[in-house]
Structure 1
């Protein structure tokens, strides 16, 4: 098996600015945004490769990458014994004086690593989606079909088509049509299923020689956007050597049968993905010993609960991070990260805390996201009067209130 995997190189695109996740991306890149109490978004892509024993990985960074680099150094240090590595590669302007101008350009500016590692196939994956995938199964399919490119795809509601590259395939699995983020009216639905489209997950496996050749051609085109979805794939699939991998066929022991993949590109989708983790039937397991989710865990004690007088702590359908101190508070349908401190009679419902938060006595928070290092004054009420909240905080389309990193609310 090791010999079969030796020619596989992974390049993970982790330079995303993530402007639609503001203010969570005010001081960090999108892949570095914390998720699920313990993790960062980039951890899901990395675990998909590491658990598949694909251990030659470059993580390409660009925007506000300091927190991401710190996390990679703490959580993903790998000995270079037997040619295994996970290395962060910042944008270095080696090819030109420009920063990355698109996904394809990011790979083009780092294509020397493909030659250096004598790669036969290159996996190019995004780093800001929530899912589990045995990448080795996709590699096996790619090799079996013998194409130049294999694109992972998933079925999504037609109303969401404008967020994705929309794919058409024939019975043999060839890509025969591709439209990058079409309007809902123009999106081609799946034959026999007018309510769904087949969406690209932004995960690609190329034959290395084909990839380098296509990137060089694209780099020479002045008006190209240098993007895989807009430029590379539309030129490549008419040649008949682009195949589509059905993500629903990817099976991992201990995981639910239904394929789960969530794009967390907006505040609302980010909040919804957290709520998915709290469902009675979790669509993705955080407890699967067959597919562990590795990350960095700071040296902290277990979460502690203390009752004070008539104030009794109550926790329902929630996750609490290590180092948390709950002193007679109520927590419902929430995910609270490391070092959460809730004082007497605080009420937390439908909330996500990214870590190191303190909520004062008697405060009530409903459907609120707290970035790190936030302190809420006693008696504050947030999430119940959205018109008032909009005067002070970011409020999403669906009414999720976001409080920026380092805020001290109610102490003026």
Structure 2
């Protein structure tokens, strides 16, 4: 049996606010030196799947540059390998991907080109290590048309996922896409599907103007269950996180700092590969102190860093304090500045004596109360925070903001947006 993997990596990721404004969500940096897309790509290679299509659409440039020809993942191959699949105009009018299922349907030619019997469909924005082969073997053993990887989630989080109910044989009998009611259960789809290739094409081609087959969760899976296809659940018991919100992104990064994290990046058993930049080793000055943190290559630390994750090239000046924060590439933190519970994008400058993350955590962001409400402040790429500024909690600083965009007194109250 020939298996091909298709990674859906074209989403905007609006819940990550400014972090995914100029890049697709799977291209967002994670755990210092990685990108989110590195996890499903590495899972494919570690599982022995070497033909991978990556479907991009929204702001693909950063993702394209990162993946390139796939060399870090051993996917630079003359047969198979990785291919970036972007929407394009055809004579018959196909254009932008309208949804997850439509994206796959527009690339069925790629699937048939590789003579695949089995299609593994993945989301490009989840953090986990998983061997896909046992799931694929289970799919064929039970004679399924579609197998969905599932795991229980907290009931209060169920509204973010596709929720399903199964019978005693693990056959799915009901599927609810992001239900608002809490009585549907908490068995959630992980966004990992194994399809028979012919069944996949047949079901995707059946939609019409009245019932388009645009999205797997909303359209395809409920239709397959209703029409009697053999749709099974594959229960996964390992570590898996959807880092689609600022809160989950921040918390998942900081979870890596625990003495024994659930996700172990320091093992040769199931390595996560990435495109690494050539930078010198991290450097620690005479006044520096680092506690329970991840410091990437190229960083220069002359201040205090506590329980934080720093990507390559971050500079922490003498007297500066970085606490409970995620700081991305080439950010400069000035003398005496203080960051607490902040997510900082690339190439940001924090002025001398500026304080970011001070105030009342219970005041949500005025413009995005559903996205910034747990006390985390976010600073967009290329922003400049003025010397001595006082930035509150749940504050959003958009990309490329500079001194003229801030109040004259430099005070940004809790829940404000610049």
TM-score after normalising by structure 1: 0.89
What CA distance in whole angstroms lies between the structure 2 residues aligned with 1:223 and 1:176? 21
Tell me which of 291, 294, 297 is aligned to 1:322. Answer: 297
Aligned position for 1:84? 80
Displacement of 1:390 after TM fit?
Answer: 6.4
Q: Cα gap change, 1:211/1:351 in structure 2, threshold over 3 Å: closer, same or farther? A: same
Q: Which aligned pairs between 1:21-32 and structure 2 lie closer than 5 A?
A: 21-32=16-27
Kindly report the root-mean-square deviation, in angstroms, between the aligned alpha carbons of the 2 structures. 2.0
SS in 1 for 2:169: coil
**Structure 2 residue ranges without an equivalent (≥5):** 388-402, 404-418
1:207 aligns with: 196
Deviations 1:387-411 (A, max 9, x none): 9996999982101111010011115
The CA distance in 2 between the partners of 1:119 and 1:391, in whole Å, is 49
CA shift at 1:183, angstroms?
1.2
1:101 correspondence with 2:98:
yes
Deviation of residue 200 (structure 1)? 0.4
Residue 281 (structure 1) shift:
2.2
Instruction: Return the offset for 1:91.
Output: 1.2
- Deviations 1:320-374 (Å, cap 9, x if unpaired)? 01000011x1111100000010010110100101111110111110001110000
Counterpart contact for 2:88–2:95, Cα < 8 Å: no
* Cα deviation digits, residues 94-148 of structure 1 (max 9, x gap): 4634311111000011111121111101011101011111011111111111110
Contact 1:147 1:241 in 2 (8 A): yes
| Other-structure match for 2:45 | 50
Contact 1:101 1:225 in 2 (8 A): no
- Which one of the candidate residues 377, 385, 392 is aligned to 1:401? 377
Unaligned regions of 5+ residues in structure 1, if any? 190-196, 249-258
From 175, 180, 184, the counterpart of 1:178: 175
Number of paired residues? 382
- The higher-RCO structure (CA 8 Å, 6+ apart) is 1
1:306 aligns with 2:294: no
Of 116, 119, 143 in structure 1, the residue corresponding to residue 113 of structure 2 is: 116
* Structure 1 residues 149 and 315: alpha-carbon distance in aligned structure 2, compared to 1, 3 A threshold: same
Alignment of 1:8-407 (within 5 A): 8-73=3-68, 75-76=72-73, 78-81=75-78, 83-94=79-90, 96-185=93-182, 187-189=183-185, 197-218=186-207, 220-224=208-212, 226-238=214-226, 239-248=228-237, 259-307=238-286, 312-327=287-302, 329-385=303-359, 396-407=372-383
What do the CA deviations read for 1:145-197 (whole angstroms, capped 9, x no partner)?
A: 11100000011111111101101111111111111111143x422xxxxxxx1
User: Would the aligned equivalents of 2:163 and 2:184 in 1 still touch at CA under 8 Å?
Assistant: yes
Counterpart position of 1:255: none
Q: CA deviation at 1:77?
A: 6.5
TM-score of the superposition, structure 2-length normalised? Answer: 0.87
